[in-house]
Amino acid sequence: MDTNWLYVLLQKSTADPLERLKLGNVILNEISQRKVSPHPKLVNDFLDVMSGWLTGSNFKVTIIGLEILDAALRTSPEVLASYYFDRLSVLIERMGDAKVQVREMAINLCRQLAYLENSSPVMLLDRLCVHGTGFEHKQWLVKVGSLNILRDFLSDSFALVIPQAINLIPQLCRLTNDPNSEVRDASTNCLVDLMVFGGKSIIAKIANTRILNEQK
């Protein structure tokens, strides 16, 4: 393939799921071995195509799209990281997918993105804290995924994320009263981790919200 290999392949994308799967395997093979050109139009065209695949109704196409995004981020992190943050809402939505494999891949890709050079868990949490998304999303699975990411960050990068986690305490307390039991459990686990890692001062902050009842 020539130096514009990705451009050539993207031009072959169609709406047909079978054709997308065939093309996806070719792109995945190439992008696992070759860097993506930093040309802004090419990168945006690439992410436009992948976003279309991720938001479509075909499970297998969504999976191959996530595999391509993962492979591309591994081979060209310095090129793609900032663009992925610009399109993070697509990954967040997939955290609420009906298929477990899609949800897990989207969450893992978000985690991977957070630990790249010139990125951080702080940057990812900032996006999950945006009103109406992440912790406030209408889809309970997205809330659970966001809470699980927070737990990972509390475990691996506590010193980095503790200021944000403290600001999230009222939200976490409210989520312990969520209609969905998995959201309640995930938010409770986050609060427990905060208390374990943060000690008495965090326990006092949680108590001072007066959102949790005495029993909790």
Banded model confidence at residue 210, pLDDT cuts 50, 70, 90: confident
pLDDT at 214 over 70: no
pLDDT tens digit sequence for 89-108: 999 999 999 999 999 999 99
H or E stretch covering 181? helix 181-198
Which pLDDT belongs to residue 208? 85
In Å, how far from its chain's centre is CA 11? Answer: 27
Ramachandran area for residue 210 (φ above 0: left; ψ -120 to 50: alpha; else beta): left
Q: Which of 124, 166, 167, 131 is nearest to 146 (CA)?
A: 124
Which pLDDT belongs to residue 213? 58
In Å, how far from its chain's centre is CA 145? Answer: 8
pLDDT at 216 over 80: no
- Give the integer Cα–Cα distance in Å for 193 and 78: 33
Q: Catalogue all structural domains in the chain, each as residue range(s) with its CATH number.
A: 1-119 (1.25.10.10), 120-216 (1.25.10.10)
Mean pLDDT of the chain: 94
pLDDT tens digit sequence for 100-131: 999 999 999 999 999 998 899 999 999 999 99
pLDDT tens digit sequence for 31-81: 999 999 999 999 999 999 999 999 999 999 999 999 999 999 999 999 999
Which pLDDT belongs to residue 1? 44
Please report, rounded to a whole number, the percentage of residues in the chain having pLDDT higher than 70.
Answer: 96
pLDDT at 184 over 80: yes
Say how many C-beta atoms besides its own lie within 10 A of residue 96's C-beta. 19
- Give the integer Cα–Cα distance in Å for 126 and 161: 10
